[in-house]
Structure 1
Amino acid sequence: MDIFAYDFFQRALIGGILIGLMTPLIGTFVVLRRLSMIGDTLAHVSIAGVALGFLIDVYPLGMGLVFAVVAAFAIEKLRRAYKGYAELSIAILLSGGVALASILFTLGKGFNMNVNSYLFGNILSLSKSDLVLVTVVTIAVLIAVLVLFKELFLMALDEDAASVNGLPLSLLNILTIVLTALVVSVAIKIVGALLISALLTIPVACSLVFGRGFKHTVLISVLISEIAVIGGLSISGVWNLAPGGTIVMLLIVMLMLLLLARRSLRV
């Protein structure tokens, strides 16, 4: 049986490739800014939006995207309020997202099974409208990163130095976190809310093992992400495994192999 001949798997593959491109692009800046947990936070808030979408019969992924963007602005607002405790904003929104999602789950017990695909990921159920949304977000991320690459790099490297150089930090911070929210909200259908942080951070962690320079790190992280997505989808399709979990486990195996390789080279 040739799984690649089916339309649903072709959509899944295209969507996976797009997600594999955009997540490490944003993930690199997120990791360098010590905000690795922001993916989990935005994913859980997005799940609350998905739950509300099912409850009021509105496009769930779109509603999740709206919730994630609102949460992104809230995180930035709280970051300014607690300048010395930036991670506090992430903890607050994470708690709020889980709480709201649990309440909405209770209100709509009939759609719990549908929400599971967003919690754990079900890329094989990617619809044409989902694929259009993923494509639009990917294009937006690519344009933003290509146009503002230098500015985003300086901000990620040293916010104080970026401020001295006259960069509009507030605008760049908002842009970065909103782009992260968009990526997370459309990626939860691929790997699930519980695993989205892995796709944002593990390819970057892999690239940092041998990365030489910022551009090199970004390119390697994208390459590793694509290998994991395509390989994970192929393995899950052939052996009927959970696609999201397979992709993440493949990423972890790749990270372990790279760490072992670096260690052996140093001996």
Structure 2
Amino acid sequence: MTITTMLDYEFIRYGLICAVVVGLCAPTVGTFIVQRRLALLGDGLGHVAITGVAVGLLTSTQPLWTTLIATVSAAVITELLRTYSKASGDVALALMFYGGIAGGVFLTSLASDKGVANLHSYLFGSLMTTTREDAVAIGVGGAAVVVLMVLLLPWLSSISIDETYARASGVPVMALNMLLLCTAAVVVSVSMRVVGLLLVSALLVIPVVTAAQIGRSFKSTFVLAMIAGALVGGGGVVVSALLFVPAGATIVLLGIALFVLVTVAAALARLVSKNRRGGPAKADAISLSSAD
């Protein structure tokens, strides 16, 4: 199969659109999450989403909506626990991990064998079964996330860099934290058909840490992360279709490969730049010593 003939298939076109959209929107949220050292938040919400999918399968409801309700509820509860209880952020994330897995296993055991089989596609992603309705839902949700994050970039960056100073400056920290977690929940819900719930955190984190290797400011890292996410998402779908391998795993592995490549290239560039600055200085020192 060539790239030209691959695009003749409708499900591949829809899958490509979904992957690019998710690749664009996930890093916009992930930039703030990584800055706040909450990289495992996506994993926690992904585990809660398993319960949401199981509820959808049991009730014959569209899993996207039950998952969205479950993840947003978990995000709100997590922020309330972190703010008003003695539980730290790590403890709140741990509760999401354990509760999400336990709820998913319990409810899945009540489902039929068909329900269990359908759950597998949400755990590991199933781009090849993407429909037009899925593409529309992901496109609308992804666009809303990108627009919201761009509009709130100054305020979200301030609470991500120094939450205490932002609170003292009158920034509504609590509301912005809640909004950020709820937006992350939306990203997890729309991403589950692309990379799967068990790998969803990868698109929140990997493009961001890749962009951080070459970004010189918060804003440049934000933009570069979106570009990296879109390239990884689209490229992963193309490679998976050409090699007939799972799209979710391919996207994640491609993201890791891009991270390694950018990290090595950035390190080499810094080394060359350092040597160029040090070379003339060293030569000048030698010449001055000789002159003396």
The answer to whether the superposition gives a TM-score over 0.5 is yes
Partner of 2:128: 124
The Cα of 1:227 is off from its aligned counterpart by 1.1
In 2, Cα distance between equivalents of 1:84 and 1:119: 29
Partner of 2:207: 203
The Cα of 1:84 is off from its aligned counterpart by 6.9
In 2, Cα distance between equivalents of 1:171 and 1:266: 40
SS of the residue aligned with 1:191?
coil
Q: Which amino acid aligns with 1:138?
A: G
SS of the residue aligned with 1:210?
coil
Equivalent in 35, 40, 45 of residue 37 of structure 1: 40
- The answer to whether 1:174 aligns with 2:141 is no
Q: Which runs of no fewer than 5 residues in structure 1 stay unpaired? A: none
Partner of 1:26: 29
Q: Which amino acid aligns with 2:228?
A: I
Partner of 1:54: 57
Equivalent in 83, 92, 95 of residue 92 of structure 1: 95
Q: Which amino acid aligns with 2:143?
A: I
The Cα of 1:123 is off from its aligned counterpart by 1.3
In 2, Cα distance between equivalents of 1:158 and 1:241: 43
Partner of 2:195: 191
In 1, Cα distance between equivalents of 2:269 and 2:17: 36
Q: Which amino acid aligns with 2:48?
A: V
Listed one character per residue, the Cα deviations across residues 207-234 of structure 1 (whole Å, up to 9, x for unaligned) are 1111100111011111111111111110
In 2, Cα distance between equivalents of 1:182 and 1:28: 15
Equivalent pair of 2:81/2:87 in contact (CA under 8 Å): no
Q: Which runs of no fewer than 5 residues in structure 2 stay unpaired? A: 272-292
The Cα of 1:85 is off from its aligned counterpart by 2.0
Partner of 1:160: 164
Scaled by the length of structure 2, what TM-score is found?
Answer: 0.88
CA-based RMSD = 1.3
Aligned length: 267
Q: Which amino acid aligns with 2:102?
A: A
In 1, Cα distance between equivalents of 2:132 and 2:238: 20
The Cα of 1:83 is off from its aligned counterpart by 5.7
- The answer to whether 1:15 aligns with 2:10 is no
Scaled by the length of structure 1, what TM-score is found?
Answer: 0.97
Equivalent in 1, 8, 11 of residue 5 of structure 1: 8
In 2, Cα distance between equivalents of 1:85 and 1:146: 29
In 2, Cα distance between equivalents of 1:263 and 1:218: 20
The Cα of 1:41 is off from its aligned counterpart by 0.7
In 2, Cα distance between equivalents of 1:144 and 1:201: 19
